[in-house]
Amino acid sequence: MDSKRVAKETAQTLSSYLTYRAVRLVISQLSETNPPQAYKLSQISTETIQDGEAYLQHLMGQDPEMAFRIMTVRQHLAEEICDYLPEMVKSQIQQTNMEHRRQHLERLTQLTVSDPVPPEPPND
């Protein structure tokens, strides 16, 4: 497995996701302070932001100030949360893996005991 390539593509995906979160954050801030601008930004951002860089490049042509604001917010987001992600993701995968295994075992056990032999009446 080419871990380096997977790491690089995962980092790109994460960076695009943070761009998307930054856009959502800015839209929610603007909806309080400047609803028409919030509406304008959400109109520009209707399509899912699959590629954060292509999105920003497009926005830069339409509204550079807005693009700068989103760039600042995504950088802030990255600095705020990135360091916590490795532990969170690793433990989440570990826990959910365990949970899937547990559920599977439970299902197997239920299948085995689904048609149980009725207990013998007590001898007295």
Binding region for a second copy (CB under 8 A)? 1, 3, 6-15, 17-18, 21, 25, 52-53, 56-57, 60, 64, 67-68, 71, 74-75, 77-86, 88-90, 92-94, 96-97, 100-101, 103-104
22 sits in which H/E element: helix 3-33
Closest approach of Cβ 27 to a second copy, in Å? 13
Task: Report which of 90, 85, 65 is spatially closest to residue 17, judged by C-alpha positions.
Answer: 85
**Structure token pair of residue 14:** 């994460």
Closest approach of Cβ 106 to a second copy, in Å? 11
Nearer to a second copy, 27 or 71 (CB): 71
Judge whether 35 and 43 are in contact, CB under 8 Å. Answer: no
Judge whether 42 and 30 are in contact, CB under 8 Å. Answer: no
Nearer to a second copy, 69 or 118 (CB): 69
